[in-house]
Structure 1
Amino acid sequence: MKINHLTSAEENLMKLFWKLESFYLKDIMEQHPEPKPHQNTVSTYLKILVEKGYLSTEKEGRIFKYTAIVPLEEYRKFLLRELSHNFFDNSGREILNLLLHENLISQETLKEFNPSAETKPLKVKEEFEYANEILNPKKDKKKGKEKEKDKEKKKKKKKEKE
């Protein structure tokens, strides 16, 4: 089953749909917290989510019954894989390091998952190099000199061609 990305609005509605599992449009309107969206807006999102393969429909008379067909757990796995791939070079270790560094998980909690493993304090990178370069664009002298040499070489090549 291929899972597609959801917008934040679609994700918010899917959270409600996962709780309801099977529902009608009127159920959504009753369950949706204030401020409630317009019924046509919800209908449009339902149509989109059916097209994306998150919901299935079953016609009952003049109305449709919707069922969530992508389980919440599968979507969570998809998001975690995407996060790992896009921001952590597919490294669970880097994710764990960040979770520990940001105090989102403790060493004690980590021990619960693998009690036999020795837990050494993990060395956490204090800075991400790429982010540091963007946030602090100060150039190293060597890099600056190397860039100047490259520019000079390009100028020489242009002159030789002329």
Structure 2
Amino acid sequence: MKINHLTAAEENFMKLFWKLNSFYLKDVMEQHPEPKPHQNTVSTYLKILVEKGYLSTVKEGRIFKYSVLVPFEEYKKFLLKELSHHFFNDSGKEILEFLMNEKLISQNDLKGYFDLKIEIKPTKIEEPKFEFADEILSPKKEKKTKVKEKDKDKKKKKKKI
């Protein structure tokens, strides 16, 4: 569905139509805030919005029933994409920076959207073996070990004989 641009006046009428969703001309006249426009003005805007594809009509006797074709959310997406394209080089990052600089959004506002829970599990680290350092730092232990090995070898030889 191709969405067309709206003038400020058309957009104001559409805000009312989005609230009503399905309505008759008399409903618009009743719901429009003061100062109320003339009925012919409202009829003209209804006709324009039907031509632009925002509204559809169904004839019920001598009157028309209007229904919204373009949801408000779709129109917001269209406007944001246009804004992004024309003023921010299609960059969400630039939009976000602008909103932050203008204090229209805060870091606290973003926390709820970007609450990334990164779980870092500790890895098992093998302790390094310092064989040469051990020999240098505790040569006595090695000597005892060597002496014990020699004793075992002697005992084995005696048993064999």
- 1:74-113 aligned at under 5 Å gives the runs 74-113=74-113
Query: What residue is the counterpart of 2:17 in the other structure?
Result: 17
Query: What residue is the counterpart of 1:36 in the other structure?
Result: 36
Query: What residue is the counterpart of 2:136 in the other structure?
Result: none
Query: What residue is the counterpart of 2:46 in the other structure?
Result: 46
Unmatched 5+ stretches in structure 1:
119-162
SS of the residue aligned with 1:113? coil
Find the aligned partners of 2:55 and 2:23 in 1 and give their Cα distance: 10
Find the aligned partners of 2:87 and 2:8 in 1 and give their Cα distance: 19
Find the aligned partners of 2:36 and 2:106 in 1 and give their Cα distance: 39
Find the aligned partners of 1:49 and 1:109 in 2 and give their Cα distance: 36
Larger gyration radius, structure 1 or structure 2: 2
Find the aligned partners of 2:47 and 2:116 in 1 and give their Cα distance: 49
Find the aligned partners of 2:89 and 2:43 in 1 and give their Cα distance: 38
Find the aligned partners of 1:39 and 1:116 in 2 and give their Cα distance: 54
Find the aligned partners of 1:41 and 1:116 in 2 and give their Cα distance: 52
Query: What residue is the counterpart of 1:8 in the other structure?
Result: 8
Structure 1 residue runs of 4 or more that deviate by more than 6 Å after TM superposition: none
1:94 alignment partner AA: E
SS of the residue aligned with 1:40? helix
In 2, are the aligned partners of 1:23 and 1:65 still within 8 Å (CA)?
yes
Unmatched 5+ stretches in structure 2:
119-161
Please report how far the alpha carbon of residue 18 of structure 1 lies from its aligned counterpart in structure 2 after TM superposition: 0.1
SS of the residue aligned with 2:6? coil
Find the aligned partners of 1:53 and 1:96 in 2 and give their Cα distance: 32
1:59 aligns with 2:59: yes
Find the aligned partners of 1:41 and 1:70 in 2 and give their Cα distance: 22
In 2, are the aligned partners of 1:111 and 1:117 still within 8 Å (CA)?
no
Q: How many residues align?
A: 118
Query: What residue is the counterpart of 2:69 in the other structure?
Result: 69
SS of the residue aligned with 1:23? strand
Q: TM-score under structure 1 normalisation?
A: 0.72
SS of the residue aligned with 1:115? coil
RMSD value over aligned CA atoms? 1.1
Deviations 1:46-74 (A, max 9, x none): 00000000000000000000000100000
